[in-house]
A and B are shown apart, each in its own frame.
Chain A
Amino acid sequence: DTGVSQNPRHKITKRGQNVTFRCDPISEHNRLYWYRQTLGQGPEFLTYFQNEAQLEKSRLLSDRFSAERPKGSFSTLEIQRTEQGDSAMYLCASLSGQNTEAFFGQGTRLTVV
């Protein structure tokens, strides 16, 4: 499979727990984005990596959120002390430096109960 892969696809967690999501981009893509999408809304930008460097973070990304891309390949997004408002679909997208088109993964749907 040569597409963007995200795991898990679904996550249900209790409020206050920590969760971690993983994104495996297309192998030659050095640019990676995380987005969050709530029901009935368009995706909102969270953060951006070029290789292993996190170059931009949205104001939406509170202190409870942290993202890493340690070797410039896969990326993780961790949410600490989850809140009900964190319930959303978390989308990862990747593209190469020369590419103009972003390819999105299937997303991880988080439900905080």
Chain B
Amino acid sequence: ELKVEQNPLFLSMQEGKNYTIYCNYSTTSDRLYWYRQDPGKSLESLFVLLSNGAVKQEGRLMASLDTKARLSTLHITAAVHDLSATYFCAVDTRLFAGTASKLTFGTGTRLQVTL
């Protein structure tokens, strides 16, 4: 069974600091997604990583994918309070030939940026 693990599960960081969230997964996949979720809200797509070595950046967030290590990272640079949210990685898998692909989510990392 596919496992998607994120760490840390909870992260409290000061404004202006840098930090990295890690996403490990247990099966072969070359597609990985990062989503943001605010309390009580739905999921907002942040990044779609489609190949080994893919790196994408948007503002203070940068995501990368290493399919050989089955690892993705979400790096936060100079955090600001507005980044406080829960961040999920999701792995796109097609378990058997002929089945649909679907996203398997990690448990999420709750980020709290303090002033």
Q: Give the interface of A toward B (CB within 8 A).
A: 31, 33, 40-45, 48, 50, 55-56, 91, 93, 100-107, 109
**Nearest-neighbor residue (CB-CB) of B99 within chain A:** A56
CB-CB under 8 A from B50, the residues of chain A are: 100
Tell yes or no: B97 within 8 A of A by CB. no
B100 touches A56 (CB 8 A): yes
Q: Which secondary structure dominates chain B's binding surface?
A: strand
Interface residues of B in 14-66 (CB under 8 A from A): 31, 33, 35, 40-43, 45, 48, 50
Given known A42-B107, A43-B43, contact A100–B99 (CB-CB < 8 A): no
Q: Return A42 CB to nearest CB of chain B, in Å.
A: 3
Report the bound CA distance from A44 to B88 in whole Å: 12
CB-CB under 8 A from A41, the residues of chain B are: 107-108
Q: Return A30 CB to nearest CB of chain B, in Å.
A: 11
Tell yes or no: B102 within 8 A of A by CB. yes
Interface residues of B in 90-115 (CB under 8 A from A): 90, 92, 99-100, 102-108
Report the bound CA distance from A23 to B106 in whole Å: 24
CB-CB under 8 A from B102, the residues of chain A are: 33, 45, 48, 56
Q: Return A87 CB to nearest CB of chain B, in Å.
A: 14
B99 touches A104 (CB 8 A): no
CB-CB under 8 A from B88, the residues of chain A are: 42-43
Report the bound CA distance from A107 to B44 in whole Å: 12
Q: Tell me which of A33, A44, A104 has the highest count of chain B C-beta atoms within 10 A of its own C-beta.
A: A104
A104 touches B48 (CB 8 A): no
